[in-house]
Amino acid sequence: GVMTIRGCAYAGSKGVVWGPVKDMVHISHGPVGCGQYSWSQRRNYYVGTTGIDTFVTMQFTSDFQEKDIVFGGDKKLERIIDEIEELFPLNKGMSVQSECPIGLIGDDTEAVSRNKAKEHEKTIVPVRCEGFRGVSQSLGHHIANDAIRDWVFEKKDVEFEAGPYDVNVIGDYNIGGDAWASRILLEEMGLRVVGNWSGDATLAEIERAPKAKLNLIHCYRSMNYICRHMEEKYGIDW
């Protein structure tokens, strides 16, 4: 999870794509170091009350110890999800951001996420973004986008009344508030921004993204994958 010269796949997923989604809790699943290092490294501005409807600046980790590496961490992940649900019941969902040891020991985060999502009736997304999967953040972006495709788009039948001028701003992480400025300009032009990915974003914005008429990409490198998918499946130009 080192985010100095160049990041890893975990950095691309947790630090860039998923981390700014404000009303979800993002669990750094593994030893404490990666999550701690990713904590508040980026100025993803957002509106909300921390611990109530926003969790961006909070750090959630499964804090793996040696025994967890030896015996596996699935049970620990189940307990953590239950604890988060008890402490922060207003969260709209969770993501499980896998660190390197998770892939090496073979924890079944998908099964845990699926079972707990059913139990708590919430969206829980396992993201196989173990750092060793790629030497840069870019693969982490791709993996994060694939998780959105498989665990959000495929599982949600969204009730949303779309309009003819609905657009998504894709790949804008509101670093220092730039997404707010973009939204004002676009809406003054007569467009309706129905989703910003993923600065100051909610899970609902991601869920309804396939209903938009156009995707406007700010950061091509991190989001071209999901835009290509939405074009192929939903006919959304970008």
Q: What is the pLDDT along the chain (238 residues), one digit of tens a residue?
A: 445 556 789 989 998 999 999 999 999 999 988 888 776 566 889 999 999 999 998 999 999 999 999 999 999 999 999 999 999 999 999 999 999 999 999 899 999 999 999 999 999 999 999 988 877 888 999 999 999 999 999 877 788 999 999 999 999 999 989 999 999 999 999 999 999 999 999 999 999 999 999 999 999 889 999 999 999 999 999 9
Are residues 68 and 186 both part of a single domain? no
Question: Of the listed 26, 29, 128, 141, which one is catalytic?
Answer: 141
CA distance 124 to 204: 14
Element containing residue 94 per DSSP (H, E):
strand 93-98
| Distance (Å, whole) CA 121 – CA 237 | 33
pLDDT for res 4: 56
Is 158 inside a domain boundary?
A: no
Residues 204 and 130 in one domain: no
What does the pLDDT read at residue 154? 85
The residue segments making up the domain with residue 63 are: 7-150
Cis peptide before 28 (omega within 30 of 0): no
**What token pair was written down for 121?**
């009736």
Residues 6 or more apart whose CB falls under 8 angstroms from that of 161 comprise none
- For position 169, which CATH number holds? 3.40.50.1980
Q: Is residue 13 part of a domain?
A: yes
Check 26, 42, 133, 142 and give the catalytic one.
42
Query: What pLDDT was estimated at residue 77?
Result: 96
Same domain, 61 and 145: yes
11 belongs to the catalytic site? yes
Whole-structure pTM value: 0.92
141 classed as catalytic:
yes
Please report, for residues 70, 156, 230, the alpha-carbon distance to residue 225 in angstroms, rounded to integers and kept in the order given: 36, 20, 9
Domains: count for the chain: 2
Residue 156 in any domain: the answer is no
